[in-house]
Amino acid sequence: MRFQGKVAIVTGGARGMGASHARGLAAEGARVLIGDVLDTEGKALAEEVPGARYVHLDVTREDSWQHALHTAEEALGPVDVLVNNAGIVHFGGVEEQSPEHFRRILDVNLVGSFLGMHTVLPGMRDRGRGAVVNVSSAAGLVGFAGGVGYVASKWGVRGMTKAAALDMAGSGVRVNSVHPGVIRTPMGESASPDLFAHQPVPRMGEPEEVTRMVLFLASDDASFTTGGEFLIDGGQTIGVI
Ligand code: NAD
């Protein structure tokens, strides 16, 4: 029960890995605010997870973040944990990707995570405690063909995490990034099996395998860990980084 009495926000929490993180945090005592744009799925999950609430949160919008923080503080209490998990992918190489898709990926994956920290970190600093986990990707440590926008966004999340960890130095607030490989979610199911067939652990990962790392980093178990990058990729990137 590492999160007894604590409050967490999970973005993109209506399905996939975000739903797994919300369930995992709640199972260890957290009151969780699930934020997403998928209202039907998010509300259904919040009814099922003890102590959870759902809020419509479009991570690309500052007013939406203000509303989500207000909802968390009013309904659940001051925020101890932020999991910036919401993300999208549009495949396309540098010649094919439309500028609109490139901008949209950066807006959701990178700017969305920035806005989350920009909104939530001041309160954490004031209280002298808190943990942020930013969800990057194995694609935040390597490149892959046909993923120019996604790769750019996830390298951005990794770099931003380190800068934010330094900005929070000495405050009691920690910021880390996680880097999943191919994981069995609606997004991961769209990946080619070639991507994981030759890994040292030759299968897709399960959302719960990422959740265990997210919970470690969000908890006091990781009290001496900030600005770090943590792979959960079945060894996919060994040999290339
Ligand atoms: P998913 O598509 O199942 O879930 C993503 C969630 O984000 C959805 O519920 C979606 O509605 C939400 N979302 C999208 N745009 C949003 C917005 N503007 N505001 C709020 N919520 C929004 O995908 P997933 O696999 O669970 O992905 C979770 C995170 O993990 C993403 O950041 C993704 O890039 C990353 N990731 C996934 C994999 C994989 O193989 N599945 C691998 C590495 C990293």
Given a contact cutoff of 8 angstroms between Cβ atoms, the answer to whether 25 and 72 are in contact is no
Spatial distance between the Cα atoms of 84 and 71, rounded to a whole number of angstroms: 17
Centre of ligand 1 from the C-alpha of residue 143, in Å: 19
Query: In angstroms, what CA-CA distances link 72 with 31, 49, 54, 60, 239?
Result: 9, 16, 9, 18, 43
How far, in Å, is the centroid of ligand 1 from the Cα of 170? 31
Q: Whose Cα sits closest to atom 41 in ligand 1?
A: 188
SS3 content of the chain, % helix, strand, coil (to 5): 45, 15, 35
Q: Ligand 1: distance of its center to the CA of 7 in Å?
A: 21
- CA of 138, closest atom in ligand 1: 43
pLDDT tens-digit readout, 17-67 = 999 999 999 999 999 999 999 999 999 999 999 999 999 999 999 999 999
Nearest CA to ligand 1 atom 23: 187
Inter-residue contact 152 to 107 (CB < 8 Å): no
Residue 190: predicted pLDDT = 86
Binding site membership of 211 for ligand 1 (Cβ less than 6 Å)? no
Give the sign of the dihedral formed by CA 190, CA 22, CA 152, CA 65.
positive
Whether ligand 1 lies within 6 angstroms of the CB of 131 is answered as no
- Find all residues with CB under 8 Å of 217, minimum gap 6, and list them: 131, 133, 174, 176, 178, 225, 228, 230
**What's the CA angle centered on 22, arms 43 and 120, to 5 degrees?**
95
**pLDDT exceeds 80 at position 241:** no
The residue whose CA has the least distance to atom 32 of ligand 1 is 87
85 lines ligand 1 (CB under 6 A): yes
**Residue 234: CB within 6 Å of ligand 1?**
no
Residues 79/130, Cβ–Cβ less than 8 Å? yes
Three-state secondary-structure class, residue 79: coil
Q: How far is the CA of 161 from the centre of ligand 1 (A)?
A: 18
Q: Which among 44, 49, 42, 43 has a CA at the least distance from the CA of 25?
A: 49
Model pLDDT, residue 176: 99
Q: With a cut of 80, say whether residue 237 has pLDDT above it.
A: yes
Q: Say whether 150 is catalytic.
A: yes
Tens digit of each residue's pLDDT (9 = 90 or more) over 138-170: 999 999 999 999 999 999 999 999 999 999 999
Which atom of ligand 1 lies closest to the CA of 184? 41
Q: Rounded distance, CA 241 to CA 223, Å? A: 27
Candidate from 82, 187, 190, 232 with most ligand 1 atoms within 8 A of CB, to mutate: 187
Q: Give the pLDDT score at 194.
A: 86
Ordered structural domains, the chain, with CATH = 7-232 (3.40.50.720)
User: Which H or E element spans position 10?
Assistant: strand 7-11
Q: What number of other Cβ atoms are within 10 A of residue 205's Cβ?
A: 22
Cβ 106 under 6 angstroms from ligand 1: no
At 170-229, the pLDDT tens digits run 999 999 999 999 999 999 998 888 889 999 999 999 999 999 999 999 999 999 999 999
Per-residue model confidence (pLDDT) at position 74 = 98
pLDDT by residue (tens digit) across 77-132? 999 999 999 999 999 999 999 999 999 999 999 999 999 999 999 999 999 999 99
The dihedral through the CA atoms of 16, 161, 129, 120 has a sign that is negative
